A and B are shown apart, each in its own frame.
Chain A
Amino acid sequence: NAGVTQTPKFRILKIGQSMTLQCTQDMNHNYMYWYRQDPGMGLKLIYYSVGAGITDKGEVPNGYNVSRSTTEDFPLRLELAAPSQTSVYFCASSHGGTIYEQFFGPGTRLTVL
């Protein structure tokens, strides 16, 4: 099992550009999450999904969009990138029986200049 994989590992965007952060898990987990971690801060939930076709906002959803067309994939879309979106983005997944014990991907480090 590869677990949770994220691409790309690093990315530099210019202000106003758009991009999609990819997340895939091979554990057949229903629950998936996107977090961002700013320097010296904890993780903040951006969006989450409790199953294919179902998504909902977390603490900091503004400037982002998600979709969940399959169990495996949960891409995060950034439209009109802003410097405030410079952060490390983590995708995570969990099993329905232990939803809080989340498995995290290695992260994507995004810089917006």
Chain B
Amino acid sequence: DQQVKQNSPSLSVQEGRISILNCDYTNSMFDYFLWYKKYPAEGPTFLISISSIKDKNEDGRFTVFLNKSAKHLSLHIVPSQPGDSAVYFCAASGSSNTGKLIFGQGTTLQVKP
């Protein structure tokens, strides 16, 4: 029973173009969503987050969109850079105040020069 799903294992885009990574969830109690980025042989690093009371959050080249009715969120990277090549995980949490996160399987993004 996978509550957070990233259905695309990999994505390849050209440098300078937009990268769109998608994530679906099933639990309507989730109210906070995050994206983490992971390079090989390193731990994940926090990238951007969004609360369920918003539908968009922007931080520089990164924008996260949330569609609650569709239980879908997406991460847009514009413009994409070779240094963005990494595995991206979406994660979700309910209002437990414990920090517990449910992660998706990850999408490997390759940005070609």
Contacts and interface: CB of A to CB of B under 8 A. Distances in A.
A104 B101 contact: no
Contacts, number: 65
B45 interface: yes
A99 B44 contact: no
Interface residues of A, number: 27
Contacts of A58: 100
Contacts of A104: 43-45
Contact of B103 (A4, A43, A107): A43
A50 interface: yes
A33 interface: yes
Contact of B4 (A42, A45, A92, A103): A42
29 contacts: A31-B99, A40-B106, A41-B105, A42-B103, A42-B104, A43-B89, A43-B101, A44-B103, A45-B100, A45-B101, A45-B102, A48-B98, A48-B99, A50-B99, A58-B100, A59-B102, A90-B44, A92-B43, A99-B98, A100-B34, A100-B49, A100-B99, A102-B46, A102-B101, A105-B43, A106-B42, A106-B43, A107-B42, A107-B43
Interface of B: 4, 6, 9, 32, 34, 41-46, 49, 89, 91, 93, 97-106
Given A40-B9, A44-B103, A90-B44, 18 more contacts: A40-B106, A41-B106, A42-B6, A42-B104, A43-B101, A45-B100, A45-B102, A56-B98, A59-B102, A92-B43, A99-B98, A100-B34, A100-B91, A100-B93, A101-B34, A102-B46, A102-B99, A107-B41
